[in-house]
Structure 1
C-alpha cells in the first residue's frame, strides 16, 4: 500500500512538472524578442528586399531601407538585367539569375553586395500572392498615372488617387505597354511597393489579430517569422509614404553572351562605385531630418564642359543622376579653357547649390538668378575636375 501511494505521488509530481514546463515554453514563445524588435530598440537600420515574380517571368525588385530612429525610408529599384558575376555559374549574367537558380536568400546577399549595404530580410510574392495580400489588407492606396484605358493595351484601372483591390494591384504590376519609358515603369513599381508599405503600416487593427497576421505570413515567402513580420508592420505605422526617397540604378547597357545567347545587361557606372556612394549617402541621410528633406527635393541641373576633354559633361551627368538629380541640359561652355570648376545658383537657393557642389567637392560658387530659370543650378566644369572630384 505504501509503495502504491509513493507511485501516485511521483506520477502527480511528474504531471505538475510537465504542465509547468509547457507553460514556461509557451510564455517564452510569446514574449521572446524578435529580430526586428531588437533592431528597432537599438535604432539599427532595417533592410528589406521586396521581390514580385510576374506571371510572364519578369521580376520586380525593390530594396527598402528603413531608419527606426527617424521613421524614414528609401527605396532602390534593382533592374532584373543588372549585370553581376554569378559565382556558382562562373560567368557574368543578370542579377535575377541568382534569384531563379539559387533562391531568395542568395539573391538578398547579391543585392547587399551590389549596394555594399546589408539587407537582413526578404519578402517574395508571386502575382497570385500579391493579389491575396492586397485583398487581406483591404486594398492599397496608390496614385495611378498614364495608364491606358482604351485600345489594345487598355487596363481597367482608373487614373488618379485610388485604392486598388488585389486584382487591380496585380494588373497594375503586370501590365506592359510597348512605348512605356524605363523611368515610368520603375516609378510605377515603386509606387506599388510604397502603397503596400503604407497599407501594412496602416493596418494595425487588422494585423493585431493573430489569425490575420498568420494569413498574411502564409501568403508570402520570407525569412521573417510571424512575430518579426508583426513587429515590422507596427514600425511601418510611422512611415510617411510621400517622404520615401526613391532611386534607381544608373549605368550602361552592354550586350553580353550568356549560355550562347546575347543578352543586354545594365552595368552600373564606374564598376558600381558611384552606385555604392549614392546608396551610402542616402541611407546615412535617413538618420537626419534635415538631410531627408534635401534628399526628397529633385534639383534641376545644367552641366557645361569648360575643358577640351570630350564627353566630360555627359559622364558627369550620369554621376549626378545616380544621386537623384534631374540633369536637364548637357552642353559645352562658351570656352574650353576654364581653369576652376564653378557652381552657379540660378534660383537664389543656396542649399541647392551647396548640395550640388558637395557631390564633386567643388568650392567656387556664384549666384546668377534668371527671370525664368529653366534649371536650379548650373555647373561649369574646369580643368581642376578629374571626372569625379574637383582637385
Structure 2
C-alpha cells in the first residue's frame, strides 16, 4: 500500500513505479522501511529472462505441473520438481497464477526466483566478474550506480552463499482492505508499518555488529492463550530476527498464561542473543533452564510462551516474575530489604526511648 503524496490519494505502492518510475518507487520504499535507499536496480521481465540465460538458468522447485493460459492468451507450461529454468520459463514462473492462488503465492515465487539468481551469481562469479564479460550482464541492470560501483556491488553479492548464509525472505504482514476509489484490494501493514521498520532495523544491526556470533539459535514460539494464530504470527515476526532459526509454532501446555515468558535452555553465554530477543518483543520476563537439568524438555535453545500481555507485536506491561530474577539481583534486593527493616526497627526503638 502506498500513498501518492502529489495527489493525496491512497493506492497500491506499485502505482508509484508505474506512474513515476523506479527512482520514485525506491524513495517510497525507503519511507516504508524507515531507511534512505542510496541506490536502486531495476530489471525488466525481459531482461530478467536474458540474465537467467547468461547465468546458465535458475534452479527452482515447482510443486506440480503447470499448464494454463494467461489473461492475454499466453500458454503457461512448467514441469514439476526441482528444475533449472531458462529465460523464457523463468518469466513464466514469476508471472503465472493458478486457480485459487493469491498475490502472496506470486510474491513467494518471485522471492524464490531472486534467491535462485543469487545462487547462480555465486556459482558463476568467475565468469560474471571477468572485466570483459561484465558489461554483458550490467546492461541488463538499469541503475543509478556508476559501472564501477555496480561492479563492486555484484562482486559483494557473488560472495553470498544462499544455502549457508541463512537468507530469509520476509513477508509483509497486514490486513487486506478494499479501496472505495478503485475497488482494488490492498495490504495495509500491521502496526501502521512499524513492524517492517523494526525487522529491517534488526537485520541491519545484525549485519553491522562487529564480533557477532555466527551461531544459529533455535527458537520456538508456543501459544499460551486462547487467541488462535498468535504463535504462528509471532513465529513469522521472529523469522527475521538475527541468528535465529524458528521452529513451527505450537500450543503451550495450557492456554491461560497471564504473562509472556522467554525460557533460555542454553548453558553457554547467550546474553547477546537473549537481549536481542527480549528487546525485540519487549519481554523482560526471562526464565533460565539449562538443558542439562531438564534433558529432553525442549528441542530449542529458546522458547517464547505467549501470554495475555502479548498484543501481536509487543509484550505490554513489563512484568517480571521475581522467581525468574538472577540470584545476585534477588540477593541484592533482599539485602536492601534487610537493611531497611533494621533501620526501621532502630528508629522505632529510638522513638520509644
TM-score normalised to structure 2 length: 0.69
Q: What is the aligned partner in structure 2 of residue 112 from structure 1?
A: 30
Q: Tell me, yes or no, if structure 1 residue 343 matches structure 2 residue 258.
A: no
Shift of 1:270: 0.9
User: Is contact 2:222–2:249 with CA below 8 Å preserved after alignment?
Assistant: yes
Map 1:49-60; keep pairs closer than 5 Å.
none
**5+ residue gaps, structure 2:** 70-75, 240-245, 319-353
Are the structure 2 counterparts of residues 187 and 329 from structure 1 closer, same or farther at C-alpha, using a change threshold of 3 Å?
Answer: same
Shift of 1:174: 1.9
Shift of 1:128: 1.5
Distance in 1 between residues matched to 2:104 and 2:231, nearest whole Å: 19
Q: Tell me, yes or no, if structure 1 residue 388 matches structure 2 residue 314.
A: yes
Q: Once the two structures are superposed, what CA deviation does each residue of 1:129-171 show, in whole Å capped at 9, x if it has no partner? A: 111112222323x34141x2265487334522x4332122222
Are the structure 2 counterparts of residues 299 and 207 from structure 1 closer, same or farther at C-alpha, using a change threshold of 3 Å?
Answer: same
**5+ residue gaps, structure 1:** 1-82
Segment drifting more, 362-371 vs 95-104: 362-371
Residue aligned with 2:284, SS: coil
Are the structure 2 counterparts of residues 93 and 134 from structure 1 closer, same or farther at C-alpha, using a change threshold of 3 Å?
Answer: same
**Aligned partner of 2:177 among 254, 257, 262:** 254
Map 1:18-167; keep pairs closer than 5 Å.
83-140=1-58, 142-146=59-63, 148-149=64-65, 152=68, 155-160=77-82, 162-167=83-88
Q: What is the aligned partner in structure 2 of residue 191 from structure 1?
A: 112
Say what the alpha-carbon RMSD is for the aligned residues.
Answer: 3.7
Say which structure, 1 or 2, has more relative contact order (CA 8 Å, 6+ apart): 1
Shift of 1:379: 1.0
User: Is contact 1:112–1:118 with CA below 8 Å preserved after alignment?
Assistant: yes
Are the structure 2 counterparts of residues 298 and 124 from structure 1 closer, same or farther at C-alpha, using a change threshold of 3 Å?
Answer: farther
Distance in 1 between residues matched to 2:116 and 2:134, nearest whole Å: 18
Are the structure 2 counterparts of residues 261 and 143 from structure 1 closer, same or farther at C-alpha, using a change threshold of 3 Å?
Answer: closer
Shift of 1:202: 4.1
Map 1:222-241; keep pairs closer than 5 Å.
222-241=143-162
User: Is contact 1:197–1:236 with CA below 8 Å preserved after alignment?
Assistant: yes
Distance in 1 between residues matched to 2:265 and 2:77, nearest whole Å: 42
Q: What is the aligned partner in structure 2 of residue 304 from structure 1?
A: 224
Are the structure 2 counterparts of residues 130 and 199 from structure 1 closer, same or farther at C-alpha, using a change threshold of 3 Å?
Answer: same
Segment drifting more, 117-126 vs 208-217: 208-217
Q: What is the aligned partner in structure 1 of residue 236 from structure 2?
A: 321
Residue aligned with 2:159, SS: coil
Shift of 1:98: 0.6
